[in-house]
Amino acid sequence: MSSGAVAAANERRLTIARAMAEAIAQEMRIDPSVFVMGEDVGTLGGVFGNTRGLFDEFGGERVRDTPISETAFMGAATGAASDGMRPIVELMFVDFFGVCFDAIYNSMAKNAYFSGGTVKVPVVLMTSTGGGYSDGGQHSQCLYGTFAHLPGMKVVAPSNAYDAKGLMTASIRDDNPVIYMYHKGLQGMGWLGTEPAATVHVPEESYTIPFGQAAIVREGKDVTIVSVAMGVHNALKAADLLAAKGVSAEVVDLRTLVPLDRDTVFASVSKTGRLIVVDEDYHSYGMTGEIIASIAERDLSVLKASPQRVAYPDIPIPFSRPMEQFALPSPEKIIEAYEKMKGRRGWRWM
Amino acid sequence: MYETMLVSRFFEEAIEAIYLEGKKPVFNMAKGPIPGEMHLSNGQEPCAVGVCAHLTSSDIVTSTHRPHHAAIAKGVDLARMAAEIFGKKTGLSGGRGGHMHIFDPDVNFSCSGIIAQGMGPAVGAALSRKMQGRDGVAVSYIGEGAANQGAFHETLNLAALWKLPVIFVIEDNAWGISVAKSASTAIPNNALRASAYGMPGHHVTGNDPIAIFAAAGEAIALARSGGGPSLIDIETDRLAGHFMGDAEAYRPKGELEALRARDPIPAFARRLQSEDALSDADLAAISDRARSKVDDAIGFARESAYPEPDEALDKVFV
């Protein structure tokens, strides 16, 4: 369900951070095996607010601050999960995963397979993604593609608080490792500056959003714009601008990268004939290429024009504001991509 | 313990012989009934039995890339482990894991092919037992090379900080593939590192199953009583190469012969004869039982079918 569909009466608008914390608290109340550990998840409530209130309600035994020992606590999450617990682990910035990647992609992600399915590893990793606030190249990356590329982990990236809550509940209940990647610019933390459209109505009761179901967040007929997280908001803004030019854009929010809802994307592109993929992760070898390849492999003839991508250039993220803003995807770049597509009339432009 | 050591040794000898099938005269790791790397545990059996004799199936063991002896001592299903090593459908993991990825949840055994990466999971399993109020301790086997990994220091600190029922066991065979411990490690005795994390450190020399049993008994009793983790550093001997096919040119001349002369299995047999008055006939009977267990397991593995190739696509998610 899209956020727009529920934004009506009895609104209960939450930030993504509060929606995440609410989902975790609700699961912790009904399932004693669920616990949280990580850096600053306790009394601070998470640097990005997504464990706020949990320490007060559940105490330090179930909401554990860890030393800055990512290899140890990622490994511990795997061991605890295989022994009947459901750990939710916070690692502040996705940029920090290098120090503990082995514990994640060689063990957490592979143990179910190595054991022939006899060992389950129900871990939720929470981590922040994204830049735009001049935090430099070790605190601003997205790395969606890195995790989506490696087999054995489900990859979640919500664009709004409604989805954030439902996807978190689904993540906790899943028997597989899930990396839950929340964008700092959508989180609702005042000091980061937040995209207001991410703060939407969130029902109080518990609900899940199934993995692998993309949402059509805006319907259109001339071009499909596919993205996740912050990119969805850029796409929606671009769609407004395109509408003013008489172009009807459909916006698809993938919501999960693994599993990937190729069917919804294909159906949309079959209808519009044109595809732009927007990603704040790096340009090459990433989600943008994957989406385009999925369409091309399935049926190239649905395309009326060459697909375009709007992604982060293949550079480390620069600090200086004008340089960083130059590199980030934006609604304007999506319009440019559309114009470029239109400019290449060689092939069945209608 | 003696019988388990023999099962382990006979198992490794059987694997060694079968591993070489199809790999002569030109060694090619991909050939034969058992392809891939093979790390045999010959000589390190005392570390396995001396610790695991204190454990039940509900206790947790994580092991290394050299896991067979520990798996056998923990009670992993021998036939299904053999079948896994052969890559057969009847293997513990249906052939998806292989010799470095032995998982038997029935006895809470697992291992990792990555140095020190069993340590975090052992700490997590111990945390799980503590949080759930369930009995059980976790034992993490590592080699002496792993003591120089970040994971070693992070997990010792975390286990001590949270006072978890976990025992870290270093099997110090003095060699990290070709690099001698003296060339990799700043101190001669890794048990000393325990003091940096406020936990007891035991240093056991002589590759002696009885001495290991005693140290492990203390550490495990402490963990079971809520006293937190311990570190046990065991000087042991690797009687085989790092992996099968390793020419071992790095070993000083005569070292391997000297190690073989102090092979812990005949030494243990002599001790059992002198101290417990086991007769030659007793020892022969134990040996026959061990041999027959191994023969049955290897026979099961040989006769089992391979998985269908496309089963490779299953079990990524559960």
Q: In terms of residue numbers, what domain contains B262?
A: 1-306
Give the one of B93, B112, B125 whose C-beta lies nearest to A83's C-beta: B125
pLDDT at B302 over 70: yes
From its phi and psi, is residue B171 left (phi > 0), alpha (psi between -120 and 50) or beta?
beta
User: What are the C-alpha distances in Å from B104 to residues A118, A151, A271, B131?
Assistant: 8, 22, 50, 23
CB contact under 8 A, B128 and A74: no
What single string gives the DSSP state of each residue in A184-217? Answer: GGGS--GGG---GGG-EE--SS-----TT--EEE
Same domain, A86 and A148: yes
Residue B21: inside a domain, yes or no? yes
Cβ atoms within 10 Å of A286's Cβ, excluding its own: 24
pLDDT tens profile B195-244: 999 999 999 999 999 999 999 999 999 999 999 999 999 999 999 888 88
Please report residues of B whose CB lies closer than 8 A to that of A59: none
Alpha-carbon dihedral B109, B114, B120, B123, rounded to 10 degrees: 30
If one counts the domains in chain B, the total is 1
What is the pLDDT confidence band of residue B79, given thresholds at 50, 70 and 90? very high
User: Of A33, A71, A85, which has the smallest distance from its Cβ to B154's Cβ?
Assistant: A71
The DSSP result for A227-268, as a single string, is: E-THHHHHHHHHHHHHHHTT--EEEEE--EEES--HHHHHHH
Average pLDDT over residues A136-154: 96
Confidence of residue A8 (pLDDT cuts 50, 70, 90): low
Confidence at residue B213, expressed as pLDDT on a 0 to 100 scale = 98
- Same domain, yes or no: A232 and A272: yes
CATH number of the structural domain spanning residue B75: 3.40.50.970
Residue A345 pLDDT > 60, yes or no? no
DSSP-derived secondary structure for A136-183: -TTSS---HHHHHHSTT-EEE--SSHHHHHHHHHHHHH-SS-EEEEEE
Provide, rounded to the nearest whole percent, the portion of chain B with pLDDT above 70. Answer: 100
Query: Of A146, A171, A201, which residue constitutes the final position of a domain?
Result: A201
* A113 and A161, same domain (yes or no): yes
What does DSSP say about strands B109-111 and B60-63: parallel, antiparallel, or unpaired? parallel
Could you tell me if residue A4 is inside a domain? no
What CATH number is given to the structural domain containing A18? 3.40.50.970
Which of A68-77, B19-28, B73-82 is predicted least confidently? B19-28
Statement: residue A222 has pLDDT above 70: yes
pLDDT at A1: 43
Q: Examine the domain organization and report whether A157 and A226 are in the same domain.
A: no
Residue A46 lies inside a defined structural domain of this protein? yes
Residues of B whose CB is below 8 A from A77: 120, 124
Q: Which two tokens stand for residue A157?
A: 């990236």
Alpha-carbon gap: A307 to the closest alpha carbon of chain B (Å): 31
Q: Which residues of A touch B95 (CB under 8 A)?
A: 116
Question: In this complex, how many residue pairs, one in chain A and one in chain B, have their CB atoms less than 8 Å apart?
Answer: 152
Same domain for A175 and A33, yes or no, is yes
- By C-alpha distance, the chain B residue nearest A86 is B128
Tell whether the model's pLDDT for residue A187 goes beyond 80: yes
What band does A344 get if pLDDT is binned at 50, 70 and 90? low
Q: Do B120 and A79 touch (CB under 8 A)?
A: yes
Q: Cβ of B121 under 8 Å from any chain A Cβ?
A: yes
Q: What is the dihedral of CA B37, B43, B45, B50, to 10 degrees?
A: -140
Q: Are residues A222 and A191 in the same domain?
A: no
Position A3 in a domain: no
**B161 and A CB contact within 8 Å:** yes
User: B62–A107: do the CB atoms touch at under 8 Å?
Assistant: no
Same domain? A236 vs A140: no
Instruction: Note whether residue A80 is domain-resident.
Output: yes
Taking contacts as CB-CB distances below 8 angstroms, the residues of chain B near A107 are: 112, 114, 117, 120-121
* The predicted structure's pLDDT at residue B82: 98
Sorted by sequence, the CB contacts under 8 Å of residue B246 that are 6+ apart come out as B177, B240
Q: What is the pLDDT of residues A257-300, one digit of tens each?
A: 999 999 999 999 999 999 999 999 999 999 999 999 999 999 99
Per-residue model confidence (pLDDT) at position A66: 97
Cβ atoms of B89 and B305 closer than 8 Å: yes
Q: Is B185 on the interface with A (CB under 8 A)?
A: no
Both A174 and A259 in one domain: the answer is: no
pTM of the model: 0.94
User: Is B221 inside a domain boundary?
Assistant: yes
Nearest residue of chain B to residue A108 (CA atoms):
B121
| Partners of residue B316 in chain A, C-beta under 8 Å | 112-113, 151-152
Q: Judge if A197 and A250 occupy the same domain.
A: no
Q: Indicate whether B311 belongs to any domain.
A: no
Q: Is A326 domain-assigned?
A: yes
pLDDT at A3: 47
Pairwise CB contact (< 8 Å): A176 & B94: no
Please answer whether residues A229 and A129 qualify as being in contact, where contact means their C-beta atoms are separated by less than 8 angstroms: yes
Q: Specify if B315 maps to a domain.
A: no
The answer to whether A109 faces chain B, any CB pair under 8 Å, is no
Q: Is A139 a catalytic residue?
A: yes
Q: How many domains does chain A have?
A: 2
Q: Which residues of B touch A109 (CB under 8 A)?
A: none
Q: Which structure tokens are listed for A193?
A: 């500056």
| Least confident segment among A50-54, A55-59, A185-189, A197-201 | A185-189
Active site residue A183: no
The residue annotated as part of the active site, out of A22, A27, A39, A70, is A70
Express each pLDDT in A22-42 by its tens digit: 999 999 999 999 999 999 999
pLDDT, one tens digit per residue, over A101-111 is 999 999 999 99
Residue-range definition of the domain harbouring residue A71: 13-201
Quote the pLDDT of residue A348.
56
**Per-residue confidence band for A4, with pLDDT thresholds at 50, 70 and 90:** very low
Shared domain for A153 and A65, answered yes or no, is yes
B131 vs A: CB within 8 A: yes
Judge if A307 and A252 occupy the same domain. Answer: yes
Q: Please, what is the average pLDDT of chain B?
A: 96
User: What pLDDT sits at residue B138?
Assistant: 98
Residues of B with CB below 8 A from A67's CB? 154, 157-158, 161
| Among A142-151, A169-178, B21-30, B197-206, the least confident range | B21-30
Which residue, of A201, A229, A260, is where some domain finishes? A201
Question: Is the bond leading into B46 cis (omega within 30 degrees of zero)?
Answer: no
**A79–B124 CB contact, under 8 Å:** yes
* Nearest C-alpha in B relative to A151: B316
Assigned domain for B316 exists: no
**B186 CB within 8 Å of a chain A CB:** no
Residue A308 belongs to domain with CATH number = 3.40.50.920
Residues A180 and A220 in one domain: no
**Is A74 in Cβ contact with B158 (below 8 Å)?**
no
